[in-house]
Amino acid sequence: MVEQVTYYQALNRALDEAMAVDDTVFTLGEDVGLYGGSYRVTEGLYARYGAWRVRDTPISEGSFTGLGVGAALIGMRPVVEIMTVNFALLALDAIINMAAKIPFMSGGQFPMPLVVRMPGGVAKQLAAQHSQRLEHTLMNVAGIRIAVPSTPQDAYWQLQQAIRSNEPIVLLEHELLYFSKAELDTVQPAIPMHRAVVRRSGSDITLISYSRTAILAQQAAQQLAEQGIDAEVIDLRSLRPIDWQTCIDSVNKTHHVLIIEEDSVYAGAGAEIAAQLAERCFYILDAPVARHGGLDMPTPYNGQLEALSIPTLDSIAQAASKVLEGEAE
C-alpha cells in the first residue's frame, strides 16, 4: 500500500498499529489524549484506546518520563511524548540517569522498552526557549539510541521499530516536518532502524546530514548540479549509533565531506562525525572534513535573524562549493 501522507500521519499510523496489536503499548504526555497531540500525532487514539492507554499528563516532564521508565521495567512499552525537546531538559534525569543506566547498573536484569518522542529544532519564530536542539547532549549518553527521521516513511518505520525494541530510544522529530507530505509504503519491509541512506548519488562531494537539514541538503544538491557539482547526499537517519560504513563508502567515491546540522556547530553532532571521518578517512580525503551548521548563539526571535542563524539551501550550496575550492569554513 503506497499513499501520500504527512509525517505526523505516518507517526500516528505507526503508533495506532502498534497499540492495536500489543496491549502493553501506551502513550502519555501533555495533551496527547483529548486534544490529540500538539502536532496531531496521537489524533484519534484517545477515542480508540481510552484514557489509560492514551494518558493526558500534568505538566511534569521529569516524573511522567520517569513513569515511563518504571512501567518499562516490568515490560510495558510506554511511548512518552515530550511536547517539545526544550521541555526534555526537565526530563533528562529520567532519560540519562534512569532509562540509560538501569539495565546496566542492574547487571543486565531489566528490559527498558521505552520510547521518548520529542519535537524539536527551529520552527517559526518560537524564540530561544522553543527552538532548541538536544542531539549533542543525548549522543553522549551510553545506553540510549537516537533516531532522527526526515521522511514520513522513516517516521513510520522508526517509531514502529522503536516500540518493538527492548532498548530505550529517543525519537527526535522536527517541528517543520510534521506537515510535509511524501510516500508511505506500509507493506515494504523496513530497513534496519539505524542504517543511513544515500538519498542522492553523486561523485564530487558527500553531504552528510539528518532530520530537516537532510531534506535541505537534497535540495542544495539540485542547485549544485546546476553549477556542475555532483553531490552525494547521505541521510544518517540515526545519531546513535551512526552507520559509519555508508559514510566511508561515500567518501571513498567523493573524497570530500561536508556535514550539515541545524544545531550549533560547536560541540554538536557534526563534531563527532567529523572526528570519526577524519580518523577513518584521512588518507582518502582531498580536503579537510567541513561542517556547516547553526550559529553559536541562542535562536533569535526576529524572523530574519532566525533564518540566518541556521543553514539554508543557499548556505549549504555555498559551503559545499567552498569545500571543493579548498576554502572550507
Partner 1 sequence: MDRQLFHGMLKDMLLARSFEERAAQEYSAGNIAGFLHLYPGEEAVAVGVIHAADQSDYIVSTYREHVHAMVRGVPPRAVMAELFGKLDGCSKGMGGSMHLFDRERRFMGGYAIVGETYPVAIGLGYAIAMQRLPEAVICFFGDGAVNQGTFHESLNMAALWKLPVLFVCENNHYQIGTEIHRHSAVSDVYQRACGYDIPAHKVNGMDVLEVHAKTGEALQRIREGTGPQLLEMETYRFRGHSVSDPGSYRPRVEVDAFRQRDPIKQAEREAQSLYPDAQQLSAVGADHIQLFSAHLQQQDLINEQEIVKLQQQVDSIVEDAVQFAQQSPQPDMQQAWDALNCNRADEVLI
**Distance (Å, rounded) from C-alpha 67 to C-alpha 88?**
14
Degrees to nearest 5, angle at CA 99 with 93 and 101 = 90
Known active-site residue 61: yes
Residue among 270, 274, 232 nearest 253 (CA): 232
Residue 137, interface with partner 1 (CB under 8 A)? no
Contacting residue, 16, 17, 31, 167, with partner 1 by CB under 8 A:
167
Contacts with partner 1: how many residues (CB under 8 A)? 52
Residue 188, interface with partner 1 (CB under 8 A)? no
For residue 65, the minimal CB distance to partner 1 (Å) is 7
Contacting residue, 108, 226, 279, 283, with partner 1 by CB under 8 A:
108
Residue 172, interface with partner 1 (CB under 8 A)? no
CA distances from 294 to 106, 211, 310 (A): 39, 14, 4
For residue 307, the minimal CB distance to partner 1 (Å) is 35
From the list 62-70, 206-214, 264-272, 312-320, the region that binds partner 1 by CB under 8 A is: 62-70
* In contact, 157 and 129? CB cutoff 8 Å: no
- Residues 238-267 binding partner 1 (CB under 8 A) are 241, 243, 245
Q: Which residue among the candidates 30, 43, 61, 232 is catalytic per the annotation?
A: 61
Known active-site residue 194: no
For residue 36, the minimal CB distance to partner 1 (Å) is 20
For residue 114, the minimal CB distance to partner 1 (Å) is 10
**DSSP H helix total and E strand total for the chain:** 12, 14
Q: What are phi and psi of 115, to 5 degrees?
A: -115, 130
For residue 62, the minimal CB distance to partner 1 (Å) is 5
* In contact, 97 and 275? CB cutoff 8 Å: no
- What's 299's DSSP letter? P
b or e along 98-115 (b: 16 or more beta carbons within 10 Å of the residue's beta carbon)?
bbbbbbeeeeeebbbbbb
Catalytic residue list: 61, 130
Which residues sit at the interface with partner 1, rule CB under 8 A? 26, 52-53, 55, 57-58, 60, 62-76, 78, 93-94, 97-98, 102-113, 142-143, 145, 165-167, 192-195, 241, 243, 245
